[in-house]
Amino acid sequence: MSEKKVLILGAGRGQVDLYKAAKKIGAHTVAVSIPGDYPGFPFADEIEYVDIRDKEGVLKAAEKHGADAVVTACVDIPVPAVGYVCDNMGLKGISYEAAVVSTNKLLMKRAFEKDGVRTARFVECMPGDDPVSVSSHLNYPLIVKPVDLAGSRGIQIVENERDLSEAVGLTMSETSEDYCIIEEYIDGYEFSATAFVLDGEILFVLPMGDVRYGENDEIPAGHYLPYEDEPGVLEDFDRQMRAGIRALGLDNCAVNADVMRKDGKVYIIEMTGRLGANCIPELTSIYMGYDIDRMIVEAALGEKGFLESIMDGKAPETPCYAQMIISEKSGILKDVHVDSSVREQADILFFSKPGNEIRKFSCTNDCVGQIVTSGRTLEEAKEKAAAAAAGITLDLE
């Protein structure tokens, strides 16, 4: 492949592998980001200091560099800008309309409702609305959600009418919009999903188990593959995922979804036109036998060399497991101790270094690092991860 220019939106840890993948295929990379100490910068050939939420600014950067592709991963914020550039420059990727719909929870839920995709019942709560009145037809408990935030930020679970108005106020204090949604809480088993769409064809839909943390298993702390369930559930999952992808108009992009199973039925909670985070890229690559970040870059460049590797049942489907490295308390990280045998059985990556402030784990942004393993069976991969976690000590002050 002759050298192509790939614009990568974001330079955080979730985008680092996009830079590496682009370089592997001989592409020239341009990082688009605000200034900061971001881990993706050392892997970029050039840097453009532009806010990735600024679609016009990103378009100017893409035109300046003559970008052949624009991509991102693991974060919602730049997805609309990706779509805007693709539409305006005729590049291969998610459309601006689909990008906007899939990153706004209200528009997303409306699209699901219109096309009959099973999801939690919901209502929009606008300024001046009485939250109790507008949600009177919904059954408690309820969840109040900002439409523009990810990673469980701004979400409030409400058990009764008495607490609803306060919860809406808390959510509205975090969102940049002047409205939010209130939806029914589905008390079931939550898991995740990854898919990929190319030229209107859904190449694969992959259910992925969640590793949960917290008193009520409320915090996602990792994932695993394969995810097994009753055949009827997995068939319903496949139907709902494909229907959701069509409802949002997602094409030429990776897809990330949060899914809930209750009483044998699958509900699509959220779905976005980008690759998921928190070890989803690593696990997908191990399981499918092909670098998913490379797939994103190649697809955006119009290359299809990966198709033969992932289609027709050729994927190795290697069992794999990943979990966050977390701290049970807050403090300043003095040092990290890793037993010599640990690195032989797991791929370990630290995001924090000595001198960094560490927070007690309460969301995925608090993780110190990650552990990724594979094995002949899922149980073997899980045991390797547990042994690796036991061999890591965080020294805090």
pLDDT truncated to tens, each residue of the chain (397 aa)? 458 999 999 999 999 999 999 999 999 999 999 999 999 999 999 999 999 999 999 999 999 999 999 999 999 999 999 999 999 999 999 999 999 999 999 999 999 999 999 999 999 999 999 999 999 999 999 999 999 887 677 888 999 999 999 999 999 999 999 999 999 999 999 999 999 999 999 999 999 999 988 766 667 789 999 999 988 999 999 999 999 999 999 999 999 999 999 999 999 999 999 999 989 999 999 999 999 999 999 999 999 888 877 766 667 899 999 999 989 899 999 999 998 888 788 999 999 889 999 998 887 788 899 999 999 999 999 999 999 999 999 999 8
* Predicted local distance difference test score (pLDDT) of residue 305: 80
Give 189's contacts (C-beta < 8 A, 6+ positions apart). Answer: 260, 261, 262
Beta-strand pair 320-325/69-71: unpaired
* Predicted local distance difference test score (pLDDT) of residue 258: 94
Beta-strand pair 28-33/5-9: parallel
Tell me if 317 sits within 8 A of 287, measured CB to CB: yes
* Predicted local distance difference test score (pLDDT) of residue 219: 76
Distance CA 190, CA 78 (A): 26
Domains, the chain, with CATH or none: 5-102 (3.40.50.20), 121-184 (3.30.1490.20), 190-318 (3.30.470.20), 321-396 (3.90.1170)
Beta-strand pair 5-9/69-71: parallel
* Predicted local distance difference test score (pLDDT) of residue 1: 44
Joined together, the tokens standing for residue 292 give 């998913």
| 141 prior amide bond cis, ω within 30 | yes
* Predicted local distance difference test score (pLDDT) of residue 313: 61
Distance CA 267, CA 109 (A): 12
Go through the chain and tell me how many residues it has: 397
Neighbouring C-alpha atoms within 13 Å toward the C-beta of 325: 25
DSSP H or E stretch at residue 102: helix 96-102
Max Cα distance, the chain (Å): 63
Tell me if 376 sits within 8 A of 395, measured CB to CB: no
Neighbouring C-alpha atoms within 13 Å toward the C-beta of 147: 22
Tell me if 388 sits within 8 A of 373, measured CB to CB: yes
Neighbouring-strand partners of residue 144: 156, 182
39 three-state secondary structure: coil
* Predicted local distance difference test score (pLDDT) of residue 363: 78
* Predicted local distance difference test score (pLDDT) of residue 2: 59
* Predicted local distance difference test score (pLDDT) of residue 88: 98
CA neighbor of 285 nearest in space, from 24, 34, 78: 24
If you ran DSSP here, which 8-state letter would residue 13 be given?
Answer: T
* Predicted local distance difference test score (pLDDT) of residue 6: 98
Beta-strand pair 320-325/369-374: antiparallel
What's the burial of 84, exposed, middle or buried (CB within 10 Å: 0-12/13-18/19+)?
buried
* Predicted local distance difference test score (pLDDT) of residue 312: 62
DSSP H or E stretch at residue 6: strand 5-9
Distance CA 80, CA 172 (A): 22
How many Å from the N-terminal Cα to the C-terminal Cα in the chain?
51
Q: What is the spatial order of strands in the sheet that 201-213 belongs to?
A: 265-272, 253-262, 189-198, 201-213, 219-225, 320-325, 369-374, 347-350
Report the b/e string of 32-50 with b at 16+ CB within 10 A: bbeeeebebeebbbebbeb
* Predicted local distance difference test score (pLDDT) of residue 46: 97
* Predicted local distance difference test score (pLDDT) of residue 155: 87
**Sign of the C-alpha dihedral computed for residues 47, 22, 320 and 255 taken in this order:** positive
